[in-house]
Chains A and B, each alone.
Chain A
Amino acid sequence: MDKIFVIGRDAVPERVALGAEESLRATFVFPSGADSSLDLAVDLTGPGAELDLAGIFAGAGEETVDIRLRVRHLAGGCTSNQLFRGIADGRSRVRFDGLVYVAPDAQKTVAHQSCNTLLLNEGARVETDPQLEIYADDVVCSHGAAIGYLSADELFYMRSRGIPEEEARRLQILSFLSPVLSRLPESYYSLIGFQR
């Protein structure tokens, strides 16, 4: 199943269980301009289950983006991937709380999690709280989290080649978001403040 959910517009499940060989690919869009939250728990209960979650957000004003994920590997041989990219501008608040749990005996688990945020304004706040709880040894798990700003060098490079500042910034943001953006049809871009 491959699905796109727009938070606040589409009904989002709270609990999902994936049995043997089942797979789920979901992309969550947190539209700009309104508070949005996601609280999702996914249990991988049968061997060979595959989970691929992605999310994109762009806080621009006063909104709060609250993401809470619980991915639990209860059976061995499953794969999970979480990929979140977003922007915190204006006076927005972003909170990411993501757990990867690997149960005892859930061997041969592969689990990855990544949440990167661009912090663009002084009034904005970002807090990420990734957690790995692993009780099996034959696993490959990783997570990465970063909060940063646009590189001045990149900006200079583009400007020195005649690209106006605003356009250059847009390109930078676009490339930062592209791993998740590429999973969406272009018609969704405007939800997070991008026009083609």
Chain B
Amino acid sequence: MDKTLTDITSKQYKEGFVTDVEQEYVPKGLSEQIIRQISAIKQEPQWLLEFRLDAFRKWQKMTPPTWGHLHLPEIDFQDIIYYAAPKKDSERPKEIDPALQETFDKLGIPISEREVLAGVKSKVAVDAVFDSVSVTTTFRKTLAEKGIIFCSFSEAVRDYPELVHKYLASVVPAGDNFYAALNSAVFSDGSFCYIPKGVKCPMDLSSYFRINASGTGQFERTLIVADEGSQVSYMEGCTAPMRDEHQLHAAVVEIVVEAGADVRYSTVQNWYPGDDQGRGGILNLVTKRGICKGEGSHLSWTQVETGSAITWKYPSTILRGDNSSSEFYSVALTNNYQQADTGTKMVHLGRNTRSRIISKGISAGHSQNSYRGLVRMNSGAAGARNYSQCDSLLIGSLCGAHTFPVIKNDCPGAIVEHEATTSKISEDQLFYLNQRGIPPEEAVGLIVNGYAKEVLQRLPMEFAVEAQKLLSVSLEGSIG
């Protein structure tokens, strides 16, 4: 059995190629000068520059958090290039560089509308971000007919400054934490999405993040605003080339959900996880937070985490509106020397607010996988209810699985429940499947997929298929 597990968990990272395009950079390092330069390249208004500089000053006074169950390599923030963008071809300014087109084709991301309309790819509007810039955003016209704004963050700053100004940092303040402050100072691009009152978004929206340039970090910012009674399903995907160095990815995602609106946010995270000796890989240090602002609003997070050398990520919801609800469904898989410290925070402020947390951790190889959560019932949260369940599955005797769920209750009318279990794939289960002619590798894949099913079925169709494959691939060679 040990051998099979080793075989299963050692598959290759197929998105690890590098695209050869000419890129422009800002000089290495971080200073007010660099921030001014990034802001100037992007031709930003004065208020945004002030916002960046203010965040930078806050960041300088902060220290990196150390409470995670992680061995984080020391990051030299002066050794990172904070802005890298593929050069625009001056002869064809309107078109996408064929090399980039090819890159996204290879990754299976539909950035040309033709294919989608022909029914080759599913109907999804994509904002494709390559290093520090958004390459293209598809279906903007179709969406605009309904009043939906879906574009890159830079365009949003240019075309809808009032909206951006109103909502930027309203959920994650600039000085929220070390990495959020860093992001606020140097963020380059990302996606912006606004769904007007009562509009149901006719297609799934999606952001795809690709790190390509070496020695850079990616600092994107996503802002989603769902106005009263609107509905949207949003997906996020990411990959990076294979390199021996660590690369930093410090993103911020903010979601504002107004009364009666419904937002589903799904992530399939497949950053380069490092090699089987633990060299290289992305350091994924991300702040994601949403606020259920109005009565009856709903926000659901679904994440499948298979990549990154280090994951530090806690998609959270502030349930402020009465009767609002939120869910967090997560599968986190770690293999080789990967480390993950991920979970969620549910802060209940409003009456009759509901939340549900389902987290499935899978550790293999030498990896460490932690669930860390906070459920907080404030004194006004009468009738609020939370249920959390986090399960860990261990594959092999060298990995670790940990759970740190904090629950705080200040309200006698609120109920919080938490359950956690840790177990391994039993010999009996494997034997049962083997005996029916299913080879051990497939059997482990089946068991893992069955274990994660509750979460996978929450993903949009396209993503679910992808995620299932990813789970089996990431596990290859882990049985050991």
Contacts and interface: CB of A to CB of B under 8 A. Distances in A.
B402 interface: yes
A134 B409 contact: no
Interface string A116-144: 01011110111111111111111111111
A104 interface: yes
A145 interface: yes
Contact of A125 (B409, B420, B424): B409
A58 B81 CA distance: 57
Interface stretch (B70-78, B118-126, B328-336, B390-398): B390-398
Contact of B397 (A104, A130, A143, A148): A104
The main secondary structure of chain A at its interface with chain B is strand
Given A131-B404, A134-B394, A134-B400, A125 B410 contact: yes
Contacts of B278: none
A147 B387 CA distance: 11
A139 B422 contact: yes
Interface string B369-409: 00000000101000000000000101111111111111111
Contacts of B406: 127-129
Nearest to B364: A137
Contact of B403 (A104, A131, A135, A140): A131
A44 to B, nearest CB: 17
A104 to B, nearest CB: 7
B379 A104 contact: no
B394 A137 contact: yes
A127 B418 CA distance: 13
Nearest to A109: B422
A129 B416 CA distance: 13
Given A130-B405, A133-B400, A144 B420 contact: yes
A62 to B, nearest CB: 16
Interface in A139-160: 139-149
Given A120-B412, A138-B424, A146 B397 contact: no
Interface residues of B, number: 35
B22 interface: no
Contact of A147 (B392, B403, B407): B407
Contacts of A124: 412
A105 interface: yes
B399 to A, nearest CB: 7
Nearest to A121: B412
Contacts of A128: 406-407, 418
Given A131-B402, A134-B402, A148 B415 contact: yes
Interface string A83-121: 000000000000000000000110100000000010111
Interface in B412-444: 412-424
Contacts of A145: 405, 407, 416-418
B400 A135 contact: yes
A137 B405 contact: no
B116 interface: no
Nearest to B385: A148
Contacts, number: 110
Contact of A142 (B395, B408, B421, B424): B421
B394 A149 contact: no
Given A104-B398, A147-B409, A132 B415 contact: no
Given A104-B398, A126-B409, A127-B408, A139 B424 contact: yes
Contact of B395 (A131, A135, A137, A144): A137
Contact of A149 (B400, B402, B413): B413
Contacts of B412: 119-122, 124, 149
A146 B418 CA distance: 6
Contacts of B377: 147
Interface in A46-77: none
A146 B417 contact: yes
A89 to B, nearest CB: 9
Nearest to A105: B397
B416 A146 contact: yes
A145 B415 CA distance: 11
A136 B423 CA distance: 10
A141 B421 contact: yes
A146 B424 contact: no
Nearest to A148: B415
Nearest to A101: B402
Contacts of A137: 394-397, 399, 424
Contact of B411 (A122, A140, A141): A122
Nearest to B415: A148
Contacts of B411: 119, 122
A104 B398 CA distance: 7
A186 to B, nearest CB: 29
Contacts of B414: 119, 147-149
Nearest to B427: A138
A119 B396 CA distance: 41
A129 B412 CA distance: 18
B397 A107 contact: yes
B379 A133 contact: no
Contacts of A135: 399-400
A146 B377 CA distance: 12
Contacts of B417: 144-146, 148
A142 B418 CA distance: 11
B275 to A, nearest CB: 23
B431 to A, nearest CB: 15
B236 to A, nearest CB: 29
B334 to A, nearest CB: 13
Contact of B415 (A120, A133, A146): A146
Contact of A143 (B403, B415, B424): B403
A114 to B, nearest CB: 9
| The 9 A-B residue pairs with the shortest CB-CB distance in the complex, in nearest-first order | A137-B394, A148-B415, A147-B409, A141-B422, A146-B417, A132-B403, A135-B400, A142-B421, A145-B418
30 contacts: A104-B398, A119-B411, A124-B412, A125-B409, A126-B408, A127-B408, A128-B418, A129-B406, A132-B401, A132-B402, A132-B420, A133-B69, A133-B402, A134-B400, A134-B401, A135-B399, A136-B397, A137-B399, A139-B424, A141-B421, A141-B422, A142-B419, A142-B420, A143-B403, A143-B420, A144-B417, A144-B418, A147-B415, A149-B413, A149-B414
